[in-house]
């Protein structure tokens, strides 16, 4: 390769870099830093979780940037392959998965553990985006197409449900439904679906594990069993509420630091942030999350292909879904389901998944002129 070529490639790279939606990158970086600071504050630096999260975060940022420089057409081309790979991982989980907390969710890769169910959320969006990209809008509600998409959705759903991981499997389902909504699934079908869901609810409830039933019952009666199933939410609410308007100050929160709030590093991290930074801090965080969603939707708006549009909207919806369910749960508006707060919660694969998603979104923004 000649020197000129190298130089021109370099300038091309710089040019690409210039074109990036830097605001989105900054926002994501900010979110990551907040997360690391919060993790540090929970343990007052006594554990290295925050450092692990830091390393993972920058690794994930690297992955995001790497993906964003690649053409979006790669994802379009290999969507089914990616989906198949994830299904394969979910499938082999049954045999070689690491069991923790009563469910087989992790694959051990020596250096790190991977949770394929997290990646499945991304895979389902990509594969459905790919699928509906080629389906004409008037054919969306055709029975055959519906059947195909149902298959695409139900297989990972059941594989994750079997682990067992109700929360994630429901999120996969919702993410998929989000895509279906966006591509214009007829309201008739959606309403029928909702009716069927309501009718089957009692049966589904009967099939739940006792602890899951308890969570749902407790949600409707919060005074019940304050030291048992409601303990988590009560303690989280104490953390949030005691923060007040301006919070207790950084490193001064006690609820999470003294382990009163369970899952304080993962699902309930918002409680700690709200305790230390109060209403002001938590509303700023809400604004930050909301702005990220808006940026992603904006990129979707400017995207030229339907695959890109569908992906952006669906990813934004998925991101929103996580936030909504997590915050709803932490503030006691929704029953407790193990859903992390994207990027903020400690956890490698979930963050990686989100960063891959942002990578793809950035790639969409970067490669608007790519048509498939």
Partner 1 sequence: MRFFKHRPSDGYQTKSGIINRRKAILNTVKYTFFGLIGLRLLWLQVFKKKKYTVLSDRNRYKEWKIASERGLILDRFGNRLAESRQVYRIALIKGDVTDLEFVLQNLKKILNLTEDVVEKTINEFRKIRQFQPYVINKNLTWSEFSKINSNLFILNGVQPFVSMERHYNFPFEFAHTLGYVGLPSEVDLQNQKNDLFRTPGIKVGKNGIEKVINNVLIGRPGFTRFEVNAAGRAVRTVEFVDGVSGNALRTNLDLELQRLIFSRLGSTAGSVVVMDVNNGEIYACVSTPSYDTNKFALGISQDELNVLLNNDRRPLVNKPLSGQYPPGSVIKPLIMLSALDNKIIDQTYVHSCPGKIELYGQEFYCWKDGGHGKVNFTDAMKKSCDIYFYELARLLGVDRIAETAKKLGMGFNLLPEFEEEKKGLIPDTKWKKNVLGKNWLLGETLITGIGQGYMLSTPIQLCKLIAQFANGGYNVIPSFFGTVKSKREKLDFDSDHIELVKETLNVSTNEPGGTSYGSRLTGELKFCGKTGTSQVVKLNIKDREDDGSPTAREYKYRDHSLFAGFGPVDKPKWAVAVVAEHSGPGSRVAAPVAKTVFDFLFKKRFTNV
Q: How far is the CB of 323 from partner 1 (least distance, A)?
A: 8
Pick 49 or 279: Cβ nearer partner 1: 279
Pick 56 or 133: Cβ nearer partner 1: 133
Q: How far is the CB of 244 from partner 1 (least distance, A)?
A: 4
Q: How far is the CB of 187 from partner 1 (least distance, A)?
A: 8
Residues 6+ apart with CB under 8 A from 97: 104, 105, 106, 107, 163
In contact, 355 and 63? CB cutoff 8 Å: yes
Pick 108 or 259: Cβ nearer partner 1: 259
203 three-class SS: helix
Pick 83 or 317: Cβ nearer partner 1: 317
Q: How far is the CB of 120 from partner 1 (least distance, A)?
A: 22
Pick 40 or 313: Cβ nearer partner 1: 313
Angle between helices 79-96 and 116-134 (to 10 degrees): 150
361/297 Cα distance (integer angstroms): 9
In contact, 335 and 219? CB cutoff 8 Å: yes
Question: Residues in the site for partner 1, rule: CB under 8 A?
Answer: 136-137, 178, 181-184, 187-188, 191, 235, 237-245, 254-255, 258-260, 274, 278-279, 282-283, 286, 290, 293, 297, 300-301, 306, 309-310, 313, 317, 320, 324, 327-328, 331-333
Pick 1 or 245: Cβ nearer partner 1: 245
Residue 350, token pair as written in the block: 């979930």
Q: How far is the CB of 208 from partner 1 (least distance, A)?
A: 25
Task: Tell me which residue of 355, 321, 295, 273 sits closest to 64, measured CA to CA.
Answer: 355
316/249 Cα distance (integer angstroms): 32
126/310 Cα distance (integer angstroms): 9
Q: How far is the CB of 260 from partner 1 (least distance, A)?
A: 5
């Amino acid at each position: 390769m000649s020197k000129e070529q190298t130089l021109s490639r370099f300038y091309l790279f710089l040019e690409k870099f210039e074109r990036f939606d830097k605001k989105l990158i900054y926002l994501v970086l900010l979110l990551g830093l907040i997360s690391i600071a919060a993790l540090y504050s929970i343990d007052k630096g006594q554990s290295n979780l925050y450092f692990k999260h830091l390393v993972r975060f920058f690794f994930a940022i690297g992955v995001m940037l790497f993906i964003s420089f690649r053409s979006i057409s790669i994802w379009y081309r290999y969507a089914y392959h990616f989906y198949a790979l994830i299904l394969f991982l979910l499938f082999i989980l049954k045999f070689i998965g690491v069991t923790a907390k009563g469910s087989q969710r992790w694959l051990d890769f020596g250096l790190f553990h991977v949770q394929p169910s997290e990646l499945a959320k991304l895979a389902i969006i990509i594969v459905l985006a790919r699928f509906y990209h080629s389906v004409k809008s008037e054919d969306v509600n055709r029975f055959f197409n519906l059947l195909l998409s149902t298959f695409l959705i139900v297989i990972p759903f059941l594989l994750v449900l079997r682990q067992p991981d109700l929360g994630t499997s429901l999120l996969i389902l919702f993410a998929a439904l989000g895509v279906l909504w966006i591509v214009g699934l007829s309201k008739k079908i959606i309403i029928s679906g909702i009716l069927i869901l309501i009718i089957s609810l009692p049966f589904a409830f009967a099939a739940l594990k006792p602890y899951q039933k308890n969570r749902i019952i407790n949600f409707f009666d919060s005074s019940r069993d304050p030291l048992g199933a409601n303990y988590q939410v009560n303690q989280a609410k104490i953390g949030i509420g005691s923060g007040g308007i301006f919070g207790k100050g950084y490193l001064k929160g006690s609820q999470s630091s003294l382990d009163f709030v369970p899952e304080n590093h993962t699902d309930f991290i918002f409680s700690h942030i709200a305790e230390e930074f109060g209403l002001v801090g938590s509303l700023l965080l809400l604004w930050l999350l909301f702005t990220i969603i808006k940026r992603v939707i904006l990129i979707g708006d400017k995207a030229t292909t339907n695959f890109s549009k569908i992906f952006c909207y669906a990813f934004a919806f998925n991101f929103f879904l996580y936030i909504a369910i997590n915050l709803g749960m932490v503030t006691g508006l929704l029953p407790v389901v193990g859903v992390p707060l994207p990027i903020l919660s400690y956890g490698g694969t979930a963050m990686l998944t989100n960063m891959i998603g942002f990578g793809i979104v950035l790639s969409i923004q970067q490669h608007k002129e790519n048509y498939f």
